[in-house]
């Protein structure tokens, strides 16, 4: 089932405690999160793309952007132990990315593309160094709740998961010299070339 048409209903019933929509993004105070319940469409995806905007008002090591499951079923992106690091958890694998674009009190847009055992990370549309992985990075099968913002302080916006690796040769701008524009474009609609592969889209508008 596609999740696009249930975003507002999910937000209405799942915003907990002090999570709130603020300036067209969801604000978290570190004691709240959003529960989107189980999303079985994510199970066992071996090719996918995860995208989101984040603004940590305070860098809290281990704070989740999103999280589902634990142990070998873990699927998560969280803030790293030091400012400027992001950790992508997939099962027992912990993949760390570093960039000066990951900082407190700064907006940044992240895109993770996974193609079997290859992971590529982009920050604000620019590729950053990605480690070599020896095993598959398929999303573990899980019936756990999908949560956004656990212990996170700040704002999160435009959260998306696609069941494909986005084609970076496609551009959503009249200026094709703007490399990576498709990765951090802020308005997704049915005219996007990969729209049919959009499994999860939380606009937080």
Does 187 score more than 70 pLDDT? no
Q: Any residues with CB less than 8 A from the CB of 51 and at least 6 apart, and which?
A: 109, 110, 111, 112, 158, 159, 160, 161, 162, 183, 184
Residue 13: the pLDDT is 36
Q: What is the pLDDT of residue 125?
A: 83
pLDDT tens-digit map of 50-82 = 999 999 999 999 999 999 999 999 999 999 999
Q: What is the pLDDT of residue 7?
A: 44
Beta strand pairing call for 75-79 and 198-202: unpaired
Q: Are the C-beta atoms of 103 and 161 separated by less than 8 Å?
A: no
Burial (CB < 10 A; 0-12, 13-18, 19+), residue 123, is buried
Mode of pairing for the β-strands spanning 198-202 and 153-162: antiparallel
- pLDDT for residue 177: 54
CA angle 186, 187, 189 (to 5 degrees): 150
- C-alpha radius of gyration, the chain, whole number: 16
pLDDT in tens, 2-11: 454 344 434 4
pTM as predicted: 0.84
What mean pLDDT is predicted for residues 146-170? 92
**Is residue 170 pLDDT above 70, yes or no?**
no
Residue 194 confidence class, pLDDT cut points 50, 70, 90: confident
pLDDT of residue 186: 63
Task: Give the mean model confidence (pLDDT) for residues 46-52.
Answer: 96
pLDDT at 132: 83
pLDDT number for residue 22? 53
Mean pLDDT in residue range 188-204? 86
């Amino acid at each position: 089932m596609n999740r696009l048409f249930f975003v507002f209903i999910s937000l209405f019933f799942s915003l907990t405690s002090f999570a709130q929509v603020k300036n067209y993004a969801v604000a978290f105070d570190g004691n709240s999160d959003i529960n989107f319940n189980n999303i079985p469409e994510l199970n066992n995806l071996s090719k996918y793309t995860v995208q989101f905007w984040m603004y940590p008002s305070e860098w809290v090591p281990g704070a989740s952007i999103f999280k589902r499951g634990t142990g070998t079923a873990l699927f998560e992106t969280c803030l790293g132990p030091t400012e400027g690091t992001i950790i992508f958890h997939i099962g027992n694998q912990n993949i760390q990315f570093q960039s000066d674009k990951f900082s407190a009190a700064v907006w940044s847009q992240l895109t993770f593309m996974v193609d079997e055992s290859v992971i590529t990370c982009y920050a604000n549309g620019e590729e950053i160094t990605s480690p070599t992985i020896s095993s598959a990075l398929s999303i573990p099968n899980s019936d756990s709740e999908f949560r956004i913002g656990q212990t996170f302080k700040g704002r999160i916006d435009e959260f998306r998961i696609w069941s494909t690796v986005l084609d970076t040769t496609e551009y959503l701008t009249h200026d094709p010299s703007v490399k990576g524009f498709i990765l951090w474009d802020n308005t997704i609609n049915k005219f996007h070339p990969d729209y049919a592969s959009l499994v999860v889209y939380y606009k937080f508008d």
